Amino acid sequence: MPTDLDSTEIASASGAEIQAPAAGGRVNRYALFVLPALTLMAGIYVYPLWIVVEQSVHDDKGVLTIEGYRELLTGPLFFRVLWTSLEIDVMATAIALVAAYPIAYHLSRQTSRRRMVLSGLVLLPLWTSVLVKSLAFIVVFGDSGIVAAGLRWLGLEPPQMMFNRTGVLIGLVHYFIPFMAFPILSSLLQRDPSLEKAARIMGAGRLRIFWRIIVPLSMPGVLAGCLLSFILCLGFFVTPALLGSRKDVMLANLIDFYLRQTFDWTIAAAASVLLLMLSAVFIVLLARVPGGRKLVVEGV
Amino acid sequence: MNDDRSETTNGEGAPTLGATTTLAAWLVYAFLMAPIFVVIGMSFGSQYEYQFPPRSISLFLYWKFFSDPQWIAALWLSVRVALMSTVLALAFGLSAAYGLVRGEFPGKRLVTLLLMSPILVPVVVIALGLYFYYARLHLIGSYSGLVAAHTIYTMPFVLVTAMAGLRHVDLNLEAAGEVMGAGRLTIFWRITLPLLRPAIVVGALFAFLMSFDEVVIAFFILEATSFTLPVKMYGSIQFDNSPVLAAVSSLLTLFSVCICGIGVWLQRNR
């Protein structure tokens, strides 16, 4: 069973393939069109990132130092926050996967017209401000919110659901479901429907077809979706700050803490470099898996 | 349309699988859409505290929002920043997309990865870098600084939509232009760009929305005296929890609904 589809196959299945014209030389003049954006990126993206790296090895008098890294890597705070971040990240990604799969599966079985309409139900939350969503969660899952009231009505003592780990997870899972659902949907849509038909003719049950054919064929999407949500979660700032407690401080909040509370630029920069390196590992990984390559390298 | 029902008895758990996933899917759709209904419902409350469902219906919170000069100033700054950065992201992004789809040069994949990376690199790191950079240039709190930052932040999205659009443009039309003796720039302006119009509109709308909702970069590089709408909301959720937030949220959500609606509609017509 072809569980690992060739990446080029996936890429070329994505629709009209148009070869670049004038493919004679290695460089053609169309390349010049990229220059303005590249210049802009160099000036207000690459250079600022470089400043972070530079700042991380200089103290506020401009003297070369590795004090920032030493303090982070020898003290307990950084590793505690790193561990919290990874814990929250893995849990949010896993729950988002479980929640997103039925959606992707459901969408993949609709006619394209119905799918367009239903995917609006996933698209709209994706494009709703994270602040708006946080506010709604605070109200709905808060101590006097509708969920707690419902639980009380059922005679249950409602647990605290906001300003703790549960709150952060609710917010993050909600945020990541769309990022998970769309890559899975696109790999579900690329599968060959005749495989299922063949399996059915051979007498395979629906459950067996689901686990042995549909799930394995959707693995590229699952992998891309998981990596995408894992990467986005690593540097997440707003949700832990608004829906979590002090115990749910993640890496991005730690950086903000060093910048704003202790005014220590060196250590804030050092923490950023470590976060950047961690993200880079997973971004490179994402760029190598079939579904992710389409997103970040081919831009489709 | 929905072929779940056509499956009858085909072995173990046959009729239930489709029903189970459909039920699960609808539960998740409901979870996804819930915040949207909640904030809209909440915004019609008249209390000085959050209430969902609201006890009475009024436009009091909207009136509070529109009569508060601080909120209006924040809204106005957000609109100006989003408009300007969208225009710039379109200009730079479209050109780059054209170069990446039609062009041939070494390191093309790396360049694409670089141009796409602002959506993947932790925003907080970008924000910190810009903070250090702007501190040196005395651009902290400046309009142009924020516009520049939002331009690179929204450009990946323009790039994605424009590249997808460009792949669907019939190359024969461009070739025809070339045969007729048009230069590359003329072809781009007179043939490619008009054909790309739907992709451009979608890219522009979502780029605007991205900038309009962006909070982390703005939070880092603005001074405590000037706020964009999201930065003011962020502060308000954290500190004073003003019920006006419900009205602001509802307006933002309606705005998202409109933009997504137009986006889906344009894609359907493609």
Domain ranges of chain B: 14-60, 68-268
- Every domain of chain A and the residues it spans: 63-273
Place of tokens 């069973």: A1
Long-range contacts of B141-145 (CB under 8 A, 24+ apart): B141/B221, B141/B222, B141/B223, B141/B225, B141/B226, B143/B77, B143/B80, B143/B81, B145/B221
Chain A nearest-CA distance from B206, in A, is 8
Residue A46 predicted with pLDDT over 80: yes
Average pLDDT, chain A: 87
Q: String of b and e for A251-282 (b: at least 16 CB within 10 Å)? A: bbbbbbbbbeeeebbbbbbbbbbbbbebbeeb
Residue B134 predicted with pLDDT over 90: yes
Task: Please name the member of B18, B125, B206 whose beta carbon is closest to the beta carbon of A276.
Answer: B125
- Which tens digits make up the pLDDT trace of A117-138? 898 899 999 999 999 999 999 9
Chain B nearest-CA distance from A270, in A, is 10
Q: Which residues of chain A does B220 touch, with a Cβ-Cβ cutoff of 8 Å?
A: 259
- What does the block give as tokens for A121? 């139900």
- The torsion region of residue A28 among left (phi > 0), alpha (psi -120 to 50) and beta comes to beta
Q: Please, which pLDDT band fits residue A61 given cuts at 50, 70 and 90?
A: confident
The pLDDT of A268-286, averaged and rounded, is: 95
At the second CATH level, the architecture of A63-273 is Orthogonal Bundle (1.10)
Q: What percent of chain A has pLDDT over 90?
A: 67
Q: What is the pLDDT of residue B172?
A: 84
* A13 vs A230: which has the higher pLDDT: A230
Q: Which residues of chain B does A274 touch, with a Cβ-Cβ cutoff of 8 Å?
A: none
d(CA B193, CA B186) in angstroms, rounded, equals 10
Query: Does B132 sit within 8 Å of A269, measured CB to CB?
Result: yes
Does the structure's ipTM exceed the value 0.95? no
Residue A231 predicted with pLDDT over 50: yes
- State phi, psi for A299 to the nearest 5 degrees: 70, 35
Q: What is the pTM of this model?
A: 0.88
Residue A24 predicted with pLDDT over 90: no
B-chain residue closest to A49, CA distance: B129
- What does the block give as tokens for B225? 């005296």
C-alpha distances (whole Å) from A173 to each of A84, A120, A146, A153, A233 are 16, 18, 20, 26, 10
Task: Please name the member of B35, B96, B234 whose beta carbon is closest to the beta carbon of A128.
Answer: B35
C-alpha distances (whole Å) from B72 to each of A136, A247, B65, B191, B244 are 22, 35, 7, 41, 12
B-chain residue closest to A146, CA distance: B52
d(CA B111, CA B249) in angstroms, rounded, equals 37
Query: Does B104 sit within 8 Å of A26, measured CB to CB?
Result: yes
d(CA B229, CA A9) in angstroms, rounded, equals 45
Q: Name the 3-class secondary structure at A105.
A: helix
Residue A201 predicted with pLDDT over 90: no
- What CATH number does the domain located at B68-268 have? 1.10.3720.10
Our CA angle for A229, A231, A235, nearest 5°, is 110
Q: Name the 3-class secondary structure at B49.
A: coil
Using the 8-state DSSP alphabet, how is residue A275 labeled? H
Query: Does A32 sit within 8 Å of B99, measured CB to CB?
Result: yes
